[in-house]
């Protein structure tokens, strides 16, 4: 099963992430975010970051999760090649493995500026999530 696919969208980056579980879909949406930002083939699971976020519903939780990943990239330079997501209550806990961005070693592709709620969807029955990134 593929992790994600890029869908047609006029100006921004729209992705649909798949998985056997919704947790895997969230992780694959995070992977898509970083895969569009940096060539992940040159990123190893060297550093580990853990964080938790909560949300009012699954869409809000997805937004909070992806926004936290962007925050870690912006504030710490963290880029992740492996993500594990575990749901609990109205939140999730994520363990991310990757590296600190080094532009002399990592090939940067594009910048994701923000996660948007526009056209965001979470399919619980046939696990997948769709999200648009502002690039």
How many domains is the chain built from? Answer: 1
- The CATH number of the domain holding residue 32 is 3.55.10.10
* pTM for the whole structure: 0.95
The whole domain housing 14 covers 4-134
- Alpha helices (H) along the chain: 22-37, 58-76
Q: What CA–CA distance (Å, rounded) separates 60 from 39? A: 28
Q: What is the pLDDT of residue 52?
A: 98
Please state, rounded to an integer, the average pLDDT across all residues of the chain: 96
Per-residue model confidence as pLDDT tens digits over 75-125: 999 999 999 999 999 999 999 999 999 999 999 999 999 999 999 999 999
């Amino acid at each position: 099963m593929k992790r994600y696919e890029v869908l047609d969208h006029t100006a921004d980056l729209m992705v649909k992430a798949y998985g056997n579980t919704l947790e895997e879909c969230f992780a694959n949406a995070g992977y898509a975010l970083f895969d569009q930002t940096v060539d992940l083939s040159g990123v190893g699971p060297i550093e580990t970051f853990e964080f938790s976020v909560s949300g009012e519903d699954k869409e809000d939780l997805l937004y909070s999760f992806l926004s936290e990943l962007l925050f870690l990239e912006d504030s710490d330079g963290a880029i992740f090649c492996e993500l594990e997501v575990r749901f609990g209550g109205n939140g999730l806990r994520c363990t991310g493995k990757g590296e600190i961005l080094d532009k002399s070693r990592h090939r940067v592709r594009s910048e994701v500026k923000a996660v948007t709620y526009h056209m965001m969807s979470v399919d619980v029955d046939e696990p997948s999530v769709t999200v648009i990134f502002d690039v």
